[in-house]
Each structure stands twice: as C-alpha cells, then as structure tokens.
Structure 1
Amino acid sequence: MPWWPFRRRSRSGSRPATPASSSGGWRLGEVALPRLQGSRRYLQEQPYLLPKDLGEVNRLDFQHYILRAILRGNYLAPIKQPRRILDVGCGTGQWAFELAQQFPQAEVIGLDLEQVKPSVSPPPNYRFVQGDILQGLPFDDNSFDFVHQRLLVLAIPQAAWPAAVQELARVTAPGGWLELVETSIHISNLTPSGPANQQVASLIGQLAALRGLDSEGVVARSLDQYLAQARLNQIQCHPIKIPVGEWGGRIGSLLALDFRTMWTAISAPLAARFQIPEQDVLQLIDRACQEWNELHSSCSFIVAYGQKP
C-alpha cells in the first residue's frame, strides 16, 4: 500500500506524486503512542516518536547549540546570498531565527507540525508555516535558494524518505542547495557499544520499527543516494564522528546529556509497549550512560547536501 500521497503545489499543475510503497509502514491508529503518557505529550496522529511538549522544546534548543558547535556553524552547504530559505521540521525555530539574522535580506520560513514557541519574538524576516512533509510542502516549485532539514529520522517513516527528499528538491530553486543532517538510532552508530547501550538501542529500534521508522541506520547511510535520486548535483556527504560522554570534553558531555534526555523522554512508551517497569528502563539508561565513559564511545552525524541544476 503506498505511503500517504504528497499534496504538491506546482506551477506546472502536475498531478500529486506518490511516494515509494511501504509494506510495513505505520498507519494512523497503529501502535499509536498515547497523547498523554505520564507527564509527557505525544502526537498520536503522527509516526513521530519523541514528545511534543516544553521539555522537548528545551532539549531541541540545547541540541541546536551542540550541533552548531560540532559543525562550527549552522550549515555546510556553500550558500552565498539566498533570497528565500526553508527549514523543514524547524522545531523551536532557533536554526531558522539565526539564519534570518545572518541573512537579513532573505525571507526565512520554518515549517513544522506545530508552532512550539509562539511567544518568542522572531526576526522580522522570519515566518512560521504549519505543515507536514508527509503530506507535501505547501510551496510552489523552485521556491527556495536553500532548503534545510535535520534529525527527522524519528519522524519520517523509512519508506517515505526517497519521496520526501524529492519533495524537498522540488521546492529548491535551480542553483539552490538542499542540505540534510541525520544520525542513526542503530546500535552500530555508537561505538564501542556496551551491553546496556545495545539493550536500549534494541528497545528503541523495535518501537521505531513498529511505527515504520528506520531502526537499522539505513537513512543516515543513504542521504547521498536520496539526493542523487532527486537529481541534484555537486553532492557532498560528510560523516562527523563525535565523542559521547565526559571523556570527550565539553562537546562529549553536552552530547551525552542530550542523548540521556532524549532516551528518558521515551522511557514511558518503551515501558508501556514492552511491559517493563519504567524504573527498570531508567536504570538501563543510567548503565548505558556509564558505558560511554568506560568504553570511550563515539557517534556519527551525517551531513549531506546537493545543488539543484
């Protein structure tokens, strides 16, 4: 059965594209996380695995500053003076706010399922658009000089990724750049990986797979292929290995805190799905965090970008 069709807006009036088929993809109502579980709020209608609440807002902002430090900036693509910039899955909007300040002449649009920080005063050249990449982007073809999307591996089902990247390329203007940033929840992404880490990754992977999400690290390894399938040129793919844990200094400590916070955020769904006491899940996470320092573990982020001809 095909994944949800993308509702595209095109100047050419072409018919909506149909993404690749998914025989095991998540569908509305299947293995849905409860909207409220404990003190955390989840989106029942979406395959998104993480919460959507104030705690996750704080984590996403924290994660943004870590990634900016890792990349030594907000992007790697060789953009110059873009006129229009799109951030898909913008989260708190912090990345888009900073791009709007860096390029005051550009219009910067952040798109997400919800606007999570409406009380924050954005830059005057920024605006939020509510939307869902799985339903198609509400923009014309060739609309943006720079399109950015990062860390949606726990939001976009694996089978939908090729079509999602084609949709991102559709709204990219000729000569413009599309940049993707991802990591993997697969056990192999954290090396060396001790027994506690393997158990945590296995549980998260099983829960992700039930919702059609990538549990084997396929997406992170395939970003350059997705860009090539979308007919982009000048494709570059940069794996960036980062230490996890206090042994890795400031960045390692910050990334460890981010991972711990993220894993803890889905401890209740893990406990409910696999009928494990939540306290046991939290203790397992604690042991996994200890292994990072004992084993000097590292993980990898992948940054891939390409130019539309």
Structure 2
Amino acid sequence: MRWWFFRRRSCPASIRRTGLEESVLPSRTSSRRYLGQQPYLLPKDLGEVNRLDFQHYVLRAVLNVERHMIDAPISAWAGRLGSLFSLDIREGWKAMTPPIAAYFKMQEQEIHNIIEQAGKEWDALNTCYCFVAAYGQKL
C-alpha cells in the first residue's frame, strides 16, 4: 500500500493566504453544515464561532454576577399574588390552545379541560414556580 496516497497536498504559492485570513473559517452561501451528534471540542462552523465570540464578549463585560432562585407560588393557596400568577399562566395556555390542539390532533375543549384540571392540581399540591433572576455589574 502506498503511504504517500494519504499525504496532505500543499497549496501552490500563488493561492496561499497569510495573516488573519488563515484563522477565519470560510463563509458558506448555503445553510449551516456540521456534524450532527458528533462531540467536538472546537466550533464546527462559522455560526458557532460567532456565537462563542459573542458569549465571550458578554461574559467579559459583566462582573459580580449573582443569581437568585425565587419560588413563586401558583394558585389561590398563596393569596392574591398566587391567584394572579395562576390566572396569567392559564390564560397564556388558553391563548395557545388552537396550535396545541392542531399539533396533538385534539379538540380545543379537551385542551381547556386539561388547563382547568391543572389549576385544580396547583391548588391541591401547593405548587410553586421556580423563577431564576441573574444580574451583574457592567464593566
């Protein structure tokens, strides 16, 4: 077997690039293409490189990041605030009923019944919604 068959071919001197162009991934005119489920340490395409650059910029620009987890009570067992939060959640789900019913091939009335049943369960189980708030100091 010829070992030089797999050897990397060098570019002619006329098309070699120098400087910054070598470190930038080529842009593609088509949609993103990358290995789907393959784990890889480095970015797989230019979109991923741009996302990581932005993430690095944002994380460098913020100091003293603090995170607070707040358990927001849902339903009437928590008083007026819990009742309003429960109402907001139920009305939000009711507003999305037509696309949900179409996706699951169900009647809209069935979805409404499920939403009302969820509200009763929140009352019986003293349910809380875990809300995460994060903030930091800008440089």
Q: Post-superposition shift, 1:305?
A: 1.1
Aligned to 2:63: 233
TM-score by length of 2: 0.59
Aligned to 1:65: none
Q: Post-superposition shift, 1:266?
A: 0.8
Report the Cα distance in structure 2 between the residues aligned to 1:164 and 1:262, rounded to whole angstroms: 32
Report the Cα distance in structure 1 between the residues aligned to 2:53 and 2:91, rounded to whole angstroms: 31
Matched, 1:302 2:112: no
Q: 1:274 to 1:298 in 2, by over 3 A?
A: same
Aligned to 1:284: 114
Question: In proportion to residue count, which structure has more helix?
Answer: 2
Q: Deviations over 1:170-205 (max 9, x none)?
A: xxxxxxxxxxxxxxxxxxxxxxxxxxxxxxxxxxxx
Q: Deviations over 1:229-255 (max 9, x none)?
A: 455211011111111000010110010
Q: 1:251 to 1:278 in 2, by over 3 A?
A: same
Give ranges in structure 2 of 5+ residues lacking alignment. 1-31, 34-45
Q: 1:230 to 1:288 in 2, by over 3 A?
A: farther
Kindly name which structure, 1 or 2, has the bigger radius of gyration based on alpha carbons: 2
Secondary structure class of the residue paired with 2:106: coil
Q: Post-superposition shift, 1:165?
A: 6.2
Q: Post-superposition shift, 1:307?
A: 2.1
CA contact (8 A) 1:19 1:163 kept: no
Matched, 1:20 2:48: yes
Alignment match of 2:82 (pick from 252, 255, 259): 252
Aligned to 1:222: none
Greater relative contact order, per chain length (Cα 8 Å cut-off, separation 6+) = 2
Report the Cα distance in structure 2 between the residues aligned to 1:236 and 1:252, rounded to whole angstroms: 26
Please provide the CA RMSD for this pair.
2.6
Give ranges in structure 1 of 5+ residues lacking alignment. 3-17, 22-159, 170-228
Report the Cα distance in structure 2 between the residues aligned to 1:231 and 1:303, rounded to whole angstroms: 18
**Identity rate of aligned residues, in percent?**
33
Kindly report structure 1 stretches of 4+ aligned residues shifted beyond 2 Å. Answer: 18-21, 162-167
Secondary structure class of the residue paired with 1:20: helix
Query: Superposed, which structure 2 residues align to 1:1-309 within 5 Å?
Result: 1=32, 19-20=47-48, 169=58, 229-309=59-139
Secondary structure class of the residue paired with 1:276: coil
Q: Deviations over 1:70-123 (max 9, x none)?
A: xxxxxxxxxxxxxxxxxxxxxxxxxxxxxxxxxxxxxxxxxxxxxxxxxxxxxx
Report the Cα distance in structure 1 between the residues aligned to 2:78 and 2:103, rounded to whole angstroms: 34
Q: Residue type of the partner of 1:20?
A: E
Report the Cα distance in structure 2 between the residues aligned to 1:294 and 1:234, rounded to whole angstroms: 40
Report the Cα distance in structure 1 between the residues aligned to 2:76 and 2:69, rounded to whole angstroms: 22
Aligned to 1:191: none
Secondary structure class of the residue paired with 1:238: strand
Q: Residue type of the partner of 1:289?
A: G
Q: Post-superposition shift, 1:20?
A: 3.3
Q: Post-superposition shift, 1:166?
A: 6.5
Q: Residue type of the partner of 2:92?
A: M
Q: Residue type of the partner of 2:48?
A: A
Secondary structure class of the residue paired with 2:66: strand
* Count of matched residue positions in the alignment of Structure 1 and Structure 2: 95
